[in-house]
Each structure stands twice: as structure tokens, then as C-alpha cells.
Amino acid sequence: MSDTTKKGDGTTKEQQPRRRQARGERRIAQLLHAAARVFCTTGYTAASTNAIAREAGVSPGTLYQFFPNKEAIAIELGDRLMHEMREAYGEALAPVDPATPLEEAIGSAVDWFMAFNTDHPVFFALMHGPDIPGRMAEAHEQLHTTVVGRIEALLASLMPGAAPADVTRTAHVCLGIYKAGLELVLAHEGAERAAYIRETKDVLIRYLEPLVGDRLGRA
């Protein structure tokens, strides 16, 4: 009972972020980089903290100087990725210029997300595994609903008369198509990778084209 993180005195200082030296910040970045590599190759659960420490060239004790536990490493990694994503997020989905042709809108959005994910394959590894820690699952869920919401907003202008449930379903299908395409894209390189990006766009365009067709037909 009353086992909050409050300290004894009146001030609720639940965190004293332990003043870091430049060396510490460097180690953290180094450890996160190593963790990304290990998570990519073995997945989250199979990745051992000792392996991460070894990959970073430090001792297990050093790792725990900067992260309270294994989950915190994934959390911090996910948070940094999320932050980096949001920095340029609006560029990908926000501008819903109705004048933009569907092909172009889908093309740029897919290009942007594909580039982000191929640059940071950890993102997919952390989000996709069935072995994500509890806190990570929340973040994943949150991102998922956010993205679906954005897609819904885009679709709403294309499907003016549709029931909300239909719009939601269509948004989920679009995201599913993208994920399937991403998996294929990540599994290939060079020209083949580019071809799969092209295919992903085509699938989305052909799936959504009839909706636009209706709108244009009435316009």
C-alpha cells in the first residue's frame, strides 16, 4: 500500500536522472547500436543482455549501469526510433491535398515509410515479433492505432458515403498490405527490392482505385 515512487519529503521527486558524463552518453549510444544489431539478428527474447554487452565491447555490469533491465533497452531504442519517425512524420501522411492524384499520394507515402524501415530494420524487428515485452506492446498498439487513424482520415475524403466501420476496415487492409510489402522488401536488395516497392504501391493503388473512381465519377 502507498508504495508509490514518492520520496519521504513533500517533493514528489520520483527520478533523479543521475548526471551523465559525455562518456556515459557515448556508451548509451554504443549499447543501443549494439542492441539494434542483436535484436535484428536474433529477435528480442532470444537476444541475451550479455550478447548485447559483448557486441558493444563492454562488460555486462557496464550495461546495467545505464539500463535497469533488458526491456528498458528495447523501450529506449523504440522511443528514439519513434521520435526520429515523428520528426519527419507529417511529410508522409499529413498533407492530404485532395488535388494530389492517388498514385502520387500512395507513392510518396510508401517511399517514405519504406526508406525509414530499410534504414532502421530494428523497427520492424521490434514491432513484428510475437515476443515483445509488455511496455513495448503498448507502444506498438499506440503507433498502430495512430497510423490507422491517419489512413482513415485520408480515406474519409475518398469514401464519403461509406460507414465508419468500412473505412476502418479499409485502413487496416491498407496497413496490412504495406506490412506484407515491407516484409518482401526487407527480404530483397537492389533492383529486386525496388521492384517489390513498385509492386506494393501497385497493390495499394489498384485496391483503392475503385473508391477514387466512384468519387471522380460523381465529380
Partner DNA sequence: CCAGAATGCGAGTGACCACTCGTGTTTGTC
Partner DNA sequence: GACAAACACGAGTGGTCACTCGCATTCTGG
Tell me how far, at minimum, the Cβ of 119 lies from DNA, in Å.
26
Which set of grid coordinates corresponds to residue 212?
477514387
Distance between CA 85 and CA 106 in Å, rounded?
A: 18
Instruction: State which residue, 61 or 190, has the beta carbon closest to DNA.
Output: 61
Query: Which ranges constitute the DSSP H helices of the chain?
Result: 22-42, 49-56, 60-66, 70-87, 90-93, 102-119, 121-128, 134-158, 164-186, 190-218
Distance between CA 178 and CA 114 in Å, rounded?
A: 9
Residue 206 to residues 71, 114, 150: CA-CA distances in angstroms?
Answer: 41, 19, 20
Residue 117 binds which one of DNA, a copy of itself, none, with CB within 5 to 8 A depending on kind?
A: none
Q: Which of 183, 189, 194, 213 binds a copy of itself (CB under 8 A)?
A: 183
Residue 49 binds which one of a copy of itself, DNA, none, with CB within 5 to 8 A depending on kind?
A: DNA
Q: Which of 10, 21, 83, 206 binds DNA (CB under 7 A)?
A: 21
49 near DNA (CB under 7 A): yes
The type of residue at 93 is: L
Distance between CA 189 and CA 193 in Å, rounded?
A: 5
Instruction: State which residue, 28 or 132, has the beta carbon closest to a copy of itself.
Output: 132
Contacts to a copy of itself from residues 24-83, by CB under 8 A: 43, 45-46
150 near DNA (CB under 7 A): no
Residue 130 binds which one of DNA, a copy of itself, none, with CB within 5 to 8 A depending on kind?
A: a copy of itself
Q: Where does this chain touch DNA (CB under 7 A) — which range of 7-15, 57-65, 143-151, 167-175?
A: 57-65
Residues 77-98: b if buried by 16+ CB within 10 A, e if exposed: bbeebeeebeeebeebbeeeee
Tell me how far, at minimum, the Cβ of 172 lies from a copy of itself, in Å.
6
Instruction: State which residue, 10 or 130, has the beta carbon closest to a copy of itself.
Output: 130
Say how far residue 107 (Cα) sits from the centre of its chain: 19
- Helix orientation angle between 190-218 and 134-158, rounded to the nearest 10 degrees: 40
Contacts to a copy of itself from residues 153-182, by CB under 8 A: 169-170, 172-173, 176-177, 179-181
148 near a copy of itself (CB under 8 A): no
Tell me which residues touch DNA (CB under 7 A). 18-25, 27, 47-50, 57-62, 64-66, 68-71
